[in-house]
Amino acid sequence: MKLIKRHHIFIVLLSLVMVGCSSSATNEKSESILPDFKAQFQLGGELYDLERGGYKWEKKLGFGKTMVEQTDHASPLQMAPHIDPISSNPKQEVTIHIENTPTLTLYLVNAGGLDREVSLQDNKFTLPDSPGKYIYEVRATWVEGEISYTFVVLIQ
């Protein structure tokens, strides 16, 4: 009788330990290490959200260990059809605002992929003078990693 009770107690304790460990491991994997930075662009006095795409982010854990989180997200060209374009007049100034002052690189994207880098001065650039739909990718880089953002402008 005592052997059966000990056996039941052992099974219950073992089950509790297994559930506790598996729950803890699951929670750790589901938590993102990527900060939720506010990312916007300003055009014509209005602020618009940038669409986050792919990213790679690293977090130092100590003892020489690093946690890395990386996505294989759709490219800006693949994202563009799902982004509402912002209408604008030609040659308007656009300012990019992203929290925690990353280094920004701006690209104009076309059907072949990245078309060319667009020069930024104090996170500002001027839209082209030709009518059309323009897809832009902003690559924001911090010490911990890089995030890609996309926005689309329709010049009338």
Q: Are residues 23 and 46 in the same domain?
A: no
Q: Are residues 44 and 27 in the same domain?
A: no
**Number of independent structural domains in the chain:** 2
* pTM greater than the 0.85 cutoff: no
| H or E segment to which residue 78 belongs | helix 76-79
Q: Are residues 56 and 122 in the same domain?
A: yes
From first to last of the 156 residues of the chain, give the pLDDT tens digit: 555 555 555 555 545 445 444 444 444 455 889 999 999 999 999 999 999 999 999 999 989 899 999 998 999 999 999 999 999 999 999 999 999 999 999 999 987 777 899 999 999 999 999 999 999 999 999 999 999 999 999 999
Q: For residue 80, give its domain range.
A: 39-155
How does DSSP assign 28-45, residue by residue? Answer: HHHS--S----EEEEETT
